[in-house]
Chains A and B, each alone.
Chain A
């Protein structure tokens, strides 16, 4: 599998570390941590995922991937999304 890194270009999946669903947002207060830590949708279809380009530019990226076909629709730096 090849993953496009916004900085390095398309790279072999082995350069990356997978984290998972990019949609959970760390709660600001006391509530919502159980959901944040444990609950995931396990979507069939296009999903936003966090990958770390550990063997490249060391950036966390957000990849859009179809979990049914493994088709990758694009990626952006995760920090761009977070800001």
Chain B
């Protein structure tokens, strides 16, 4: 055990059992998985991506590149989880990744020996030839050999919630700067949200030995957190990562609601997506310590100095028995003193700088050797056993150490600050990139702004908060930051140690070494963006949080530029990996999108309906009866019964729009190609609408109920689009017109009642109406009352039969269809679905969605005569363009197979019988097909060049996708009752 007897923010009274690779270990409440593993002397945690090198814990935060595990089992297995951010809980199960057969013995570690092959850009070079080997051999091989954890491939059993929040000030990060800012803004009464990825607020205050206001810093953080929690105007979100900034001062965050619990309570979401709109934001995300680039810097036992201090001070664990500290900054000395204070032997402090640090004397008193102007150039041992120190005089010393703390300086965590394109700039003060500009409303504070010392962090947080408070016209008191202990933070960076014998890693997660960077530069990849893609630097799941700057510095060095000249990259959201389930939330599987059900839906279910999606609508497709062998048999029955008796179909999904006002007729004349101002009251008329470019947009019937009261219908698919189009016409194109329009699609449940017995049936249901051909001719419309409520009947037909459409308020739709069947028993009334509807409309040659496909003109569909010459309408001018009126345009025809048993398929292309099957000979295509039970064979609608003039001609359907060509006869598109006797009967 490497657990110290006392100290840390863990609850030693609450031991927790967990397993790693099947072995049972014990930690405490308050531990992370990483701290608990270290406490149990587990040093080897994973294998690296490319070379399968043994890796341990390197950091104590979300920037961790090495200690990735798969957490949980079965469907809940979450690969690539950073052990450093996982709160320990009872029964936690974690396994290591990317090793076979076991973590200790990994066969693919042989990749290291082949490492000359795996250099930067290896997959662009090594596996180039022959090309056909790539898919079958190289790619699967690489994928097996290199990689991280594997997805479970099972559906995610957890569920995810969503929330929205609005605030005046969002504070991203709960370290010293964020805490003081939240306190000041909260006390001043601002609506504040403070979010931190950790389970506790405090940030570095929990990991370092400082005093604030005369109290231990962790104690001060605890009190600040308690005060914030007590403020009703402040929302504290712990375990919450703000992962992105979006346009309009919008922030995305993920709250890990149940990840730290052994088992979520029933109904408990695992995580919650927050969308936050914040007028102002303070980026207080702190800084990440840079690793140093030296030989063997990836060995288990080598950690960032801040991580060593965190494990000591926060978790009471020490990651080794004998430590060596390699530093380029003042903060490394603090870690040395932390170790000494905890009673850990410090063998050496190696500072690459030549000036003697104030702590050097104290460290030497404790028994450590101090090397100035020196560097560690190699770490030896499978897990660290000793280090080679290259001294200022050039000589080398080997020193035994199983823990190496590296302190390379600090990089502000400005990731999300560049999400919207603000390019970070180089700071000569802290030797890192900082935000020069930031997304609108955002300001960086504390270490994220390069204010690395504690006192600077606190004062920058206090100042920024006071400014925000003042901007909202409030006053903050007090505005000054509290007193705190001194904390020097000077650094002289050392970008890599050139004298080394083994690999020195820059990007630990993607196994990119300093040699890879210089090789890329030699090969001409000298821009940061090219370097990134060629070497994959910073492209692993950690997005280069510990590697980016070291890599860029090495590139700058290799190309003779300054780092400021070489520049850095911008980052995209998310800052940390976010599970897809978080974004999906409630909307997955059956809830993927909302469903619209018509008023007769429940009734249709009782009738055995199969449903089909029509946009969001569920429409009954057919109503199978017991004993029917196939859907085709069902549909044939529905068609035949309707054509010979009577059928009923729910057509409520058609778009319905009330168009009212003194100028309603004027507007409709401008929207449709044909006239509506001449439509008599009490009549309906078919109308065709063009887009402004002259192509057909939609069709439907429009009814005039009163002089200034019209009722427009649209196709189901275009209902929303046409409402929008009408609103554009009346609000933007012609706002001077007195027209009001509103969607009433949902108000009316509408049923088509079709077939020779439809009149008899309806007359029996609605005895007060005169439905005779004289009293209620084709295209007549009437308003009446059904069960006392407003209802409508239309003499319209899509099927080509004598038919009516009846509309009742949607809340009465279920009652109406049941009433129709109560009466309909005597008439063998059948319900029919969209499939039979489609068959009957193809038999009648009515164009529908397949023909109104955005490429056809009115003329193509045989409706050129409808284009009014007496008025202007949308699309009129452009429809006259030569290309749209050309004689050889494909136009609507009917087709029949010569061999009546052959089955036509939509999508096939039309060719002359003897023409070669090449695109140059293409004369059109099949749009819709159906088996016509009325004719006893397959029929179709098609668009054929000069089609209207070619009835009777024999041509061929070419269908290279689905097989054999079929010879067909071109015919009139109206197959059934071409004279239209039935509809007028």
Q: Which residues of A contact B (CB under 8 A)?
A: 1-3, 10, 13, 17, 19, 26-27, 30, 33-34, 36-38, 50, 52, 54, 58-60, 69-72, 77-79, 82-83
Contacts and interface: CB of A to CB of B under 8 A. Distances in A.
Contacts of B732: 50, 60, 78-79, 82
Given A2-B249, A37-B878, A79 B735 contact: yes
Given A1-B250, A79-B732, A33 B877 contact: yes
A2 B248 contact: yes
A39 B720 CA distance: 26
A78 B724 contact: no
B784 interface: no
Contacts of A10: 248, 277
B247 interface: yes
A58 B877 CA distance: 29
A54 B724 contact: yes
Contacts of A1: 246-248, 250
Nearest to B872: A28
B746 to A, nearest CB: 14
7 A-B pairs closest in CB distance = A2-B248, A1-B247, A79-B735, A70-B247, A33-B877, A79-B731, A78-B732
A17 B248 contact: no
B728 A52 contact: yes
A59 B733 CA distance: 13
B877 A71 contact: no
Contacts of A38: 693
A34 B548 CA distance: 51
B692 interface: yes
Contacts of A69: 421
A59 B250 contact: no
A36 B692 contact: yes
A59 to B, nearest CB: 7
Contacts of A58: 723, 727
Instruction: Specify which of B277, B723, B727, B731 lies most central, judged by the most chain A CB atoms within 10 Å of its CB.
Output: B731
A33 B277 CA distance: 42
Interface string B596-629: 0000000000000000000000000000000000
A14 to B, nearest CB: 11
A37 B247 contact: no
B768 interface: no
B826 interface: no
Interface residues of B, number: 23
Contact of A26 (B248, B277, B724, B733): B733
B736 interface: yes
A77 B724 CA distance: 15
B738 to A, nearest CB: 13
Interface string B277-299: 10000000000000000000000
A78 B877 CA distance: 24
B935 interface: no
B666 to A, nearest CB: 15
Contacts of B877: 27, 30, 33
A10 B469 CA distance: 23
B114 to A, nearest CB: 48
Interface string B868-883: 0000000001100000
Instruction: Specify which of A10, A26, A50 lies most central, judged by the most chain B CB atoms within 10 Å of its CB.
Output: A26
Contacts of A34: 878
B460 to A, nearest CB: 27
Contacts of A2: 247-250, 277
21 contacts: A2-B248, A3-B248, A10-B248, A17-B724, A26-B733, A27-B877, A33-B692, A33-B877, A33-B878, A34-B878, A37-B693, A50-B728, A54-B720, A59-B731, A60-B728, A72-B248, A78-B732, A79-B735, A82-B731, A82-B732, A83-B735
B879 to A, nearest CB: 10
B165 to A, nearest CB: 13
B727 A52 contact: yes
